[in-house]
Structure 1
Amino acid sequence: MERRIVGGPGASPGPDLVGEALTARATVDEHGTVTGWSDGAEGLLGYASAQILGRPAASLLAEEPAASDLPPFAELPRWHGTLALRHRDGRRIEARVLAHHRTPDAGARDWLLVSAVTGSQPHPDDDALVRQGLLLSPFCATSVHDTNLRFRRSNRSSQGALGLSDDDMRGLRMSDVLDDPMVGEVERLMLRALETGEPQYMENHARAPGETREHAWSVHFYRLEEPDGRVLGVASTGHDMTEQYWARTRLQLIAEAGRRIGSTLDVTRTAQELADVAVPDLADFISVDLLASLDDLHDEPPAIPAAGGSLALRRVAHQSVYPGSPEAVVAPGEVDEYPDGSPPVESLRSGRAVLHQVTEPAIADWVAQDPLRTSRIRDFGFHSAMSVPLSARGTTLGVAVFARHRHPDPFQRDDLVLAEELAARAAVCIDNALRYTRERGTAVTLQRSLLPQSLPEQAAVEVASRYLPAGARAGVGGDWFDVIPLSGARVALVVGDVVGHGIHASATMGRLRTAVRTLADIDLPPDELLTHLDDMVGHLAIEAEGGERTVGDGETTGDVGATCLYAVYDPVSRRCAVARAGHPLPIVVSPDGTVELLDLPAGPPLGLGGLPFESVETELREGSLLALYTDGLVASRDTDVDVGVLRLRRALAGPAASLDVLCDTVLGAVLPERPTDDVALLVARTRALDADRVATWDVTPDPSAVAETRKRAVGQLASWGLSEAAFVTELVVSELVTNAIRHAEPPIQLRLIHDASLICEVSDASSTAPHMRRARSYDEGGRGLLLVAQLTRRWGTRPTPMGKTIWAEQGIDPAPPSLIA
């Protein structure tokens, strides 16, 4: 037994189980003092531990080496060489020493020196040891070949791998022993190693005779030579790397799944990505089924029903090593009932992956009642299957079934672990896609409910529109458009875009659209309307900052803001007043085909506050085309805005059978295949009201002028063929003109417009708006406006640059088409 040496950690390894006394061990600290001494060291130099511990190690040297001969020991991790040592009896001993520079647990560095007590001379049995070690190696398959590449000798491992003995193979080439296409590459590398003397390396996959499992081999080829350089042949050594190969393959497959699964927020595509990753590296066929109850995307996924009944599963994706997946029993999109006790249902209800051979009762009993599945298993030779639940965030979504038929090896436990990892990654992505789809569906429904369901009837312009919600990760945005009939046969055209995406943006859009309609109803000019809208967006921003909102997938938040363009077209004057708040410029296409951007001041986006907006008024010839749009139409990650606008201008200039056809043409020509933002497009072709459909009179600010004014109005109605409206018109004209004379300032003007309705307008220079009130029984006046409101379809007042205009609109029979230009 070795003695424990105090102060010499590592000098003695412990009990002498393998002849430790045959190794001399000593430890020396950084100062050169001996701190450990073993029995083997005593046997080598004759010093007992008590005689040597604490002494300088240099005292053991037979001669002091020159300083120039010493290596930089402090920088070396290890040193080896021959030392001349002095035995206790005075003899000089040449010993081969191996020294390790180490840091023990105590923390102080020292040197561990070891030397063989038996010396370094070869032993007579060494050659036999080498020979038997190579021949009997269970892990390294080694064969030697002569210069003609003929087998001469193989060790036990190589004979086992090839399934033949030395006597069976001697004199044959590798191509004679193995019938495999890769043998040609093996012999080519063997020949290169033989000719060049450079070692060659290859990795191959082969199945040993009598085995069903394919092995992965790492093989080296190297030339064998005599000491005098005479070439004897070539050797091959192969290491079975099957387990390492499959471990590496699994890691690569997991990494590939991380890159490929979940590239979109589409449920079907995500499931297909899982299927594409699994085949053919893991399975020969895979099906991905989701619970049919998930079809109602407005609700959270329901719980799995209790045992005792079947489960309805919808096939979302599948993949096969054969084109077209001929093994599949269920087509994508179809629903199939899986009985209780079948592996997919067992996996879903237990929440655990299961591995079965097709001969096991779990599968045999299931398919026994299904002739089609039975025939598929028989025809394609299915032999092994795994059912893995798709679960994410505590919710079970469906099941993935992996199967093998062409691959000869059945699934192993490691394959089940890999399938669970792939399914877990895919389940999270599928759940994200389902949540996004629900979120986006809610946002789209909300947004469409807030957009015009149909465009209102009006005669000022012919209109068509398109709205496309984004189909990418950004989610639904806040784009909107509107067509608002105004007094005096005019019409307002609106397009806007709220910053952000998701339900919040849609809700904000709805509030802004309502505000625009309210402000338009009081007939504010475009610049004033945007000013009021800007104030409202500022208030919304303050509300958003003061409240906490939970944000779902596909929704972005931040400061509330928007852009907007508001235009008012008058078919009587053919003039259009436009103002914008940070919105893209509208495009005008003249009847002669000229396309130009309407030059407007940019105006700040809504929400900045404190900055002015400017209106520009321009004349539009009859038949002109006005195009309003959001930036999603002309701007994208891959397209510059200027390029998008150029494409839009070209598309608008082309011929089209109708405005609806033109809208479709524009979207097809301008938009990329997958738009990344919402798109709103509103196109309007201007109409003009004939001059003989409008009558205007200046009114003397004297009560006596009321009668003459009534008479003129009645005469004009007669010329228009509207005598049936004369009674109501007389009352309206009388009331409005009388009020203007009594309560307003001159000049006073009466205008009648014969459009789809009959419009009576009285303008004056006063900015004071009239108010309808309830007259008491003894009041002499105060009933006029109430009477106007009762006799007409609608009435109101609007500001003008010189004062105000009070108007009233009567319903009449539709005018003949010839009356509307």
Structure 2
Amino acid sequence: MGVVGDRIGPVRSRDRFLHGETFDSTEGDVRSPILSSWERCRLLGLSPDRSDLPFTQDFDADGPLVRAAAPVLDRLQSIFAGSRMNICLADGHGVVLERRFGDKALPRHLAPIQTVPGFVFAEQVAGTNGIGLTLAERGLVQVYGAEHFAERSQSSACTAIPVRDQLSGHIEGVLCLGYPYTDADPALVPLVRRAAEAVERRLMEQSSARERGLLQAYLEAGFRAAGNGTEPRDGSPLAMAELLQSELDQSDRSLLKERATELMSSARRAATEVPLSRGRSVTLVSRPVTSSSGVEGIVIEALIPEDTERHAPAPAHAHADAAPRSPAPAPGMVRGLVLVGEPEVGRYAVAARRRLELLAEAGNRIGTTLDVDRTAWELAETAVPRLADFVTIDMPEAVLRGEESHNPTAEMRRTVVHGIREDCPFYPVGSQVTLHPTTPHMRCMTTGQPVLEPDLKAALGWIAQDPAHAELLLAHNVHSLITVPLLSRGVLLGIACFYRSQDPAPYGDDDRALARELAARAALCIDNARRYTREHTLALSLQHSLLPRGLPEQGAVEVAHRYLPAETGVGGDWFDVIPLSGTRVALLVGDVVGHGLHAAATMGRLRTAARNFAELELAPDELLTHLDNLMVRLDREEGGDLPGAASTGIVGATCLYAIYDPTSRQCTLARAGHPPPALVLPDGSVSLLDLPAGPPLGLGGLPFESAEITLPVHSQLVLYTDGLIEDRHRDIDTALEQLHRALSHPDRAPEDTCRAVLDAVAPEHPGDDIALLVARTNALPADRIAAWDLDADPALVGRVRAAAMEQLDRWGLEESSFATELLLSELVTNAVRYGSAPIRVRLILDRTLICEVHDASNSAPRMRHAASTDEGGRGLFLVAQLAQAWGTRYTTGGKVIWAECALDAA
């Protein structure tokens, strides 16, 4: 609204509305409750200039509400004496019961509609006004000037509040203060709240007086056992009630009160036996009673066998605090008053207890998973049938993806439909839900408050959304609705709708409060699930972005791989295939401890470091040592070694690193706390390689060992992480046996092997990531390798060069002869001049032509820019220009300088 005294905005907004312009309640031009009321008035076909209102004489001018409000109205009249204040009391249907005025002469200047009790101000006949809007919104409202729908009220304002029965929560009436628009004062709000509370207290006192009358009638009727004529020694039923209290402990007394309340709500003569602690029992008896003023009620008495309760010795295990038992004379019955009241009071108490039980159950049933859809279903399953017969939940698509919706009203999707039967024609799950401004769904979304529609047949805004669909629902006896926004931490996550069909009574404010509490609990769980989904999606995206996006070209092995994220969160599993010099290939599988973004980020750092270390041609044990040192540094950087710093959870990682050489079929492996790989030989035998275990990465200071084996051609090397074989519902030996059976098919392609392993071994609900890498080995044919040994004699360089040229001719690579001759000349000359014997030259024909020169020296050549006066220093520069890649790798007996030349090089 802005400033109360500023009428220009509402007047213009009302004129625009009456001329057919539509408003978005989120724009702020018109308050949402007012705009919703205007829309309802339009749907009802009301005319703003209509001045006549229904009048009735059929109202109780001396009923409980009027009697309770009379002193409060007198006090308000005295407070506003001499002012132009109109003090009005209406009943729960909008019928005016009484009017008071600050200025007693004011009624002479007002129309009867504003002064005489009996006029009806319900919204459906009077349009937007204080009384009608209070009944529609079921809470305190203020209406200013042009916010009124009727022309007659444009110069006035009002503040109205419902008056409730504190016991049942039902709205009994409305207290409304009307005044000129210019006399608006913010202090009226707390004043009218206090006045309504005073009326509600006096209503409650009247209920207490009714109960006192019932108790007096019970006392006057005497205290006799029904049917047998026995009477206790003490004729006072209240004394017997105190005696009964002393006979029972707190848990027994609570159980008696609970069962007595249920018995009272039945409103009939009955008896029931209630088992108590220590093998005892009590019989509850209900009897009708009528007070002198004609109030009908129920008395609940308890009967305890006196000889077993008060004369039997206390059990040895009786509580030390139990009340002492007085010696009893003759056997008989101990009778005591438990409850006295009206049946309706019992029903309210039973309903209140059931609401508390439902809330307690909701705490256990809602939020058992971190799945948005499942959490929404748990809300619906909890509410049906104890609160609602049908529940629908609509949520923005962004929320289902784990994000926040920037425009939830435009992208609502039906997420849940659940009810007592499946034939009710609600919009199906997955359908797009478009909401009109007049619907209770939109009202609850824009206001952030629950909206109660007691009678859907009269809910024109709900019907206008889709009249045909509304007619179908009404035909299935769906008659009452509560819509509740799913709000958590200020974010709108969706709306939950609770429908009633079997119970003919409409929803009330207690039901709305219960629905709001259930929705609030569910919204918090949904938001937690949404945040987890977002983090899980981010971590999974990060994980996938850090894993290899494609397999590199190489001929050493045929490779297939799988990555399966855990259901509970993305971890730090990874794999890699890294081509190395000399047609070799490195296979890598690792697992960072932990889950989430941090584990995925740490995995990315480790994988990048492993690739860099692999480029340095390090042996597997050396590479693991460098990764171990890196993990120690990462842990230290994250605060693990700083006093008082909170560690983020890096405790290490496991890793398996293997290098396979197709020219020799040698495979060198080392592992750091990782499960050993499986080897499938061509004959179908499967075994786990017995490798030195090695410590996990991150411990620091402990050595790693390598093992070397020779693999037959077309053997399969299977590398995996522990998520494949470890499962809390399955023994690891069983998983390894399943793995052996799945791998015992050597004729399968690696892709088929991956699929079979995951189908047979992977847990149904993996609690950890799974990385799987299957490599089937190849061997480079001997006729594609040429090697020569020579001494450190410059005269032998020419012979090797000539032999190499002949080999290129045999391979049909005459066009590459010139470039290869220059490469070999420079590499062999450097080895003869700067290296040491023995010297070995090797040519390998693969996807490229590879030239390797091995010598026994550990000194590495260094490329530099030679000055114009230098006689040497240009050899490696020439090699770099002729080759597409070159480098140095160290061996146990020296080093190898290698260069790769494209096959079409001239």
* Kept in 1: contact 2:456–2:481 (CA 8 A): no
Match of 2:406 in 1: 302
Change (3 A) 1:143 1:666: farther
Match of 1:212 in 2: none
Residues of 2 paired with 1:201 and 1:463: CA distance?
A: 78
2:352 aligned with 1:261: no
Residues of 2 paired with 1:599 and 1:698: CA distance?
A: 36
CA drift of 1:441 comes to: 1.0
Aligned to 1:338, the other structure's residue is in SS state: coil
Q: Higher helix share goes to which structure?
A: 2
Residues of 2 paired with 1:372 and 1:700: CA distance?
A: 98
Instruction: After superposing the two structures, state which structure 1 stretch, 765-774 or 364-373, moved more.
Output: 364-373
Match of 1:247 in 2: 352
Aligned to 1:251, the other structure's residue is in SS state: helix
Change (3 A) 1:134 1:786: same
CA drift of 1:365 comes to: 2.9
Match of 1:517 in 2: 611
User: Which has the higher Rg, Structure 1 or Structure 2?
Assistant: 1
Change (3 A) 1:590 1:359: closer
Query: Of 657, 666, 671, which residue of structure 2 is paired with 1:580?
Result: 671
* Kept in 2: contact 1:329–1:372 (CA 8 A): no
Amino acid corresponding to residue 622 of structure 1 in structure 2: V
* Kept in 1: contact 2:683–2:746 (CA 8 A): no
Residues of 1 paired with 2:300 and 2:447: CA distance?
A: 42
CA drift of 1:671 comes to: 1.8
Match of 2:446 in 1: 349
Paired residues for 1:67-78 under 5 Å: none
Residues of 2 paired with 1:276 and 1:217: CA distance?
A: 37
Residues of 1 paired with 2:475 and 2:680: CA distance?
A: 66
Paired residues for 1:700-711 under 5 Å: 700-711=791-802
Amino acid corresponding to residue 607 of structure 2 in structure 1: R
What's the TM-score, normalizing by structure 2?
Answer: 0.62
Residues of 1 paired with 2:904 and 2:225: CA distance?
A: 106
Aligned to 1:499, the other structure's residue is in SS state: strand
CA drift of 1:319 comes to: 0.6
Paired residues for 1:47-62 under 5 Å: none
CA drift of 1:642 comes to: 3.2
Residues of 1 paired with 2:817 and 2:437: CA distance?
A: 81
Match of 2:695 in 1: 604
Change (3 A) 1:741 1:219: farther
2:676 aligned with 1:594: no
Aligned to 1:257, the other structure's residue is in SS state: helix
Query: Of 625, 637, 659, which residue of structure 2 is paired with 1:531?
Result: 625
* Kept in 1: contact 2:583–2:846 (CA 8 A): yes
Change (3 A) 1:202 1:645: farther
CA drift of 1:377 comes to: 2.6
CA drift of 1:329 comes to: 3.1
Paired residues for 1:243-642 under 5 Å: 243-294=348-399, 297=402, 299-302=403-406, 311-322=410-421, 324=422, 326-359=423-456, 363-472=459-568, 475-545=569-639, 557-642=648-733
Match of 1:12 in 2: none
Residues of 1 paired with 2:426 and 2:647: CA distance?
A: 42
* Kept in 2: contact 1:562–1:607 (CA 8 A): yes
Residues of 1 paired with 2:603 and 2:717: CA distance?
A: 23
2:229 aligned with 1:133: no
Residues of 2 paired with 1:218 and 1:574: CA distance?
A: 93
Amino acid corresponding to residue 279 of structure 1 in structure 2: V
Residues of 2 paired with 1:497 and 1:279: CA distance?
A: 45
Q: Percent identity?
A: 52
CA drift of 1:672 comes to: 1.9
Residues of 2 paired with 1:466 and 1:359: CA distance?
A: 54
Residues of 1 paired with 2:882 and 2:300: CA distance?
A: 99
Aligned to 1:390, the other structure's residue is in SS state: strand
Residues of 1 paired with 2:215 and 2:903: CA distance?
A: 116
Residues of 2 paired with 1:655 and 1:259: CA distance?
A: 51
5+ residue gaps, structure 2, are 1-213, 229-265, 274-280, 287-296, 306-330, 332-338
Change (3 A) 1:143 1:272: farther
Instruction: After superposing the two structures, state which structure 1 stretch, 240-249 or 481-490, moved more.
Output: 240-249
* Kept in 2: contact 1:216–1:245 (CA 8 A): no
* Kept in 2: contact 1:656–1:662 (CA 8 A): no
Residues of 1 paired with 2:752 and 2:900: CA distance?
A: 34
Residues of 2 paired with 1:513 and 1:331: CA distance?
A: 46
CA drift of 1:440 comes to: 1.1
Paired residues for 1:100-111 under 5 Å: none
CA drift of 1:721 comes to: 2.2
Residues of 2 paired with 1:649 and 1:202: CA distance?
A: 72
CA drift of 1:758 comes to: 1.3
Aligned to 2:676, the other structure's residue is in SS state: coil
Amino acid corresponding to residue 552 of structure 2 in structure 1: P
Residues of 2 paired with 1:711 and 1:614: CA distance?
A: 42
Change (3 A) 1:710 1:656: closer
Number of residue-to-residue matches in the alignment: 610
Paired residues for 1:755-794 under 5 Å: 755-794=846-885
CA drift of 1:729 comes to: 1.3
CA drift of 1:221 comes to: 10
Change (3 A) 1:187 1:405: same
Change (3 A) 1:334 1:220: farther
Residues of 1 paired with 2:361 and 2:492: CA distance?
A: 24
CA drift of 1:723 comes to: 2.1
Paired residues for 1:171-250 under 5 Å: 240=343, 241-250=346-355
Residues of 2 paired with 1:539 and 1:365: CA distance?
A: 65
Change (3 A) 1:494 1:535: same
Residues of 2 paired with 1:506 and 1:608: CA distance?
A: 20
Residues of 2 paired with 1:372 and 1:339: CA distance?
A: 15
Amino acid corresponding to residue 319 of structure 1 in structure 2: H
CA drift of 1:592 comes to: 0.9
What's the TM-score, normalizing by structure 1?
Answer: 0.69
Aligned to 2:728, the other structure's residue is in SS state: coil
Instruction: After superposing the two structures, state which structure 1 stretch, 669-678 or 555-564, moved more.
Output: 555-564
Residues of 1 paired with 2:531 and 2:718: CA distance?
A: 36
Over the residues paired in the alignment, what is the CA RMSD in angstroms? 3.7
Residues of 2 paired with 1:130 and 1:437: CA distance?
A: 59
Residues of 1 paired with 2:299 and 2:561: CA distance?
A: 66
Residues of 2 paired with 1:216 and 1:809: CA distance?
A: 101
Aligned to 1:750, the other structure's residue is in SS state: strand
Residues of 2 paired with 1:217 and 1:650: CA distance?
A: 75
CA drift of 1:222 comes to: 11
Residues of 1 paired with 2:696 and 2:398: CA distance?
A: 45
* Kept in 2: contact 1:216–1:242 (CA 8 A): no
Residues of 2 paired with 1:648 and 1:202: CA distance?
A: 69
5+ residue gaps, structure 1, are 1-128, 147-182, 191-197, 204-214, 224-228, 230-236, 305-309, 815-821
Offset from partner CA, 1:331-350 (integer Å, 9 cap, x none): 22222111113111111111
Change (3 A) 1:562 1:199: closer
Residues of 1 paired with 2:858 and 2:216: CA distance?
A: 117
Residues of 1 paired with 2:571 and 2:647: CA distance?
A: 9
Change (3 A) 1:656 1:281: farther
Change (3 A) 1:612 1:217: farther
Change (3 A) 1:649 1:657: closer
Residues of 2 paired with 1:725 and 1:279: CA distance?
A: 80
CA drift of 1:777 comes to: 2.3
CA drift of 1:145 comes to: 7.7
CA drift of 1:252 comes to: 1.9
Amino acid corresponding to residue 598 of structure 2 in structure 1: H
* Kept in 1: contact 2:573–2:592 (CA 8 A): yes
Amino acid corresponding to residue 624 of structure 1 in structure 2: S
Residues of 2 paired with 1:365 and 1:132: CA distance?
A: 50
